[in-house]
Structure 1
Amino acid sequence: MSVPALVLLAHGTNDAAGWATISRLHAAVARALPAVDVRLGYAGVVGPSLAEVLAALPGPVVVVPAFLASGYHVRVDVPEQIAAVGRSDVVVAEPLGPAPELISALVDRLAEAGSEPGDTVVLAAAGSTDPAAQADLRTAAALLTARVGHEVPVGYIAGGEPRVASVVASTSARGPRVVLATWLLAPGAFHRWLADAGASVVAEPLGDHPDVVAVVVERYLAAA
């Protein structure tokens, strides 16, 4: 049986920094799996689309959704796209989040940004009205709570309540500084908006951190 190809499926962005970050993640995954044909596709905004990538690949194929929660794209959009292609040799792996390894990456990003012991950490996420995605986000916050030693509240950047700025304002009395752990895979408009949330420190997105690469590989191997 042939080795399944891997399609790393990202959200899609017109932001140059975001595109470059996802491209670096794709390259890192390809280096980690030298015997696997690793392709990059997007769920929307830019191409190539999942359908376009699959059209160029013989089976079998494992699609790894590069998403931090099991939201609409993972549970509805991606299966519908695969069904429309009409292939039975494509398997969708679990999304990346909320894996414990990603919390380690978050902690590293906080340290790189200058976070210190005693800072109040807030988890900043894009936000979703999807119950499954919200549950995954609560899990991520609980895992980060165990790492930083205090309860980590969640703030939403664009969808849902409470918004990040409100959480920062309400938690500022806990200590001298509030820092944001960015629960985003790549930079873009959402990350830039965090600069106006009132926090002392804003960590970079997870990006191509080695732990993110490891989770992609883990998801592929589990599905393959």
Structure 2
Amino acid sequence: MGSLDRPLVLAVHGTRSALGTRVSLELAEAVAQASGADVRLGWVDIHTPTLTDTLRELAVAGRGEAIVVPAFLTAGYHVTSDIPAAIATAGGRATATPLVGADVLPAVLDRLDAVGEFDALVVAGAGSLRPRAVAEVQAVTRTLSRTVRRPALAGFVTASSPTVPDAVATLRAAGHDRIAIASYLLAPGRFSEQIEDAGADAVSEPIGVHPLLVELIVSRWRAALTEPLTLSRPKAVND
């Protein structure tokens, strides 16, 4: 089997939202069309097949030297712990690439362009107990603030502070009339629904099946094709 035959396993967070699930399935299809790879989904939470299930299935079929691309925006628990554990549990015949992360920021800006004018911004992330993941959202917020030339605060849906409504309220108290939320989320679901009710004047859509996201996933897979198989943690991720 040549290196180009190595499957691409898209590690994604599950959701109980039918729309969010459909977006993940459409993303996998778009990645398959763009790459020509054998693309499989490996759910890290909620859904089956789990990432471990998918890797085991590939191993049994003799296609086990898979490349796992974490479709995640921050280095939270799923990326730093669950994905390496799934690879090890499945026998280790796979390697994980760097997560998608902040490289997808131009797609966030594309979604934000659709909301119209605003004079302040909240960047809404999922939240994490991992300081690294929180710091990554804060760094994205600073970048977006410089790019749109508007004041911006990070807000989190769960596990971290400030919450998205608190960040909106802080900007409102500072005298800003039209506040937008930039959804730093990959797919619609419960978190995006909560953001809609956070008190902002406009909310951008999650990234979804954006061409840049597809391109990033494919580029992660292609870069890994020439690298030796390893059971290491995803690159550029530290606890």
Shorter-chain TM-score range: over 0.9
In the other structure, the counterpart of 1:82 is: 87
- 1:24 Cα deviation (Å)? 1.2
In the other structure, the counterpart of 1:73 is: 78
Secondary structure at the aligned position of 1:40 is classed as strand
Residue 65 (structure 2) pairs with residue 63 (structure 1): no
Hey, which bits of structure 1, 4+ residues long, moved more than 3 A? none
Show the 5 A alignment for 1:10-159: 10-34=12-36, 36-57=37-58, 58-87=63-92, 89-99=93-103, 102-112=104-114, 114-116=115-117, 118-159=118-159
Provide, for residues 114-156 of structure 1, a one-character-per-residue CA deviation record: whole Å limited to 9, x for no partner.
Answer: 222x431110111112022122212211221221113421011
Measured on the aligned residues, the alpha-carbon RMSD in Å equals: 1.4
- 1:50 Cα deviation (Å)? 1.0
- 1:78 Cα deviation (Å)? 1.0
- 1:174 Cα deviation (Å)? 4.4
Q: Distance in 2 between matches of 1:44 and 1:133?
A: 18
Secondary structure at the aligned position of 1:56 is classed as helix
Secondary structure at the aligned position of 1:213 is classed as helix
Change (3 A) 1:221 1:174: farther
In the other structure, the counterpart of 1:170 is: 170
Read off the aligned partner of 1:93 and give its amino acid letter.
Answer: T
**Count of matched residue pairs:** 218
Q: Distance in 2 between matches of 1:64 and 1:23?
A: 15
Provide, for residues 56-92 of structure 1, a one-character-per-residue CA deviation record: whole Å limited to 9, x for no partner.
Answer: 22132100011101111111111111111122x3110
Q: Could you tell me whether the CA contact under 8 Å between 1:2 and 1:60 is conserved in 2?
A: no
| Percent of aligned pairs sharing the same letter | 39
Q: Distance in 2 between matches of 1:107 and 1:194?
A: 17
Q: Could you tell me whether the CA contact under 8 Å between 1:71 and 1:133 is conserved in 2?
A: yes
Q: Could you tell me whether the CA contact under 8 Å between 1:61 and 1:91 is conserved in 2?
A: yes
Unaligned runs of 5+ in 2: 226-239
Secondary structure at the aligned position of 1:176 is classed as coil
Q: Could you tell me whether the CA contact under 8 Å between 1:109 and 1:206 is conserved in 2?
A: yes
- 1:98 Cα deviation (Å)? 1.5
Residue 224 (structure 2) pairs with residue 220 (structure 1): no
Unaligned runs of 5+ in 1: none
- TM-score (structure 2 length as normaliser): 0.87
- TM-score (structure 1 length as normaliser): 0.92
Q: Could you tell me whether the CA contact under 8 Å between 1:123 and 1:155 is conserved in 2?
A: yes
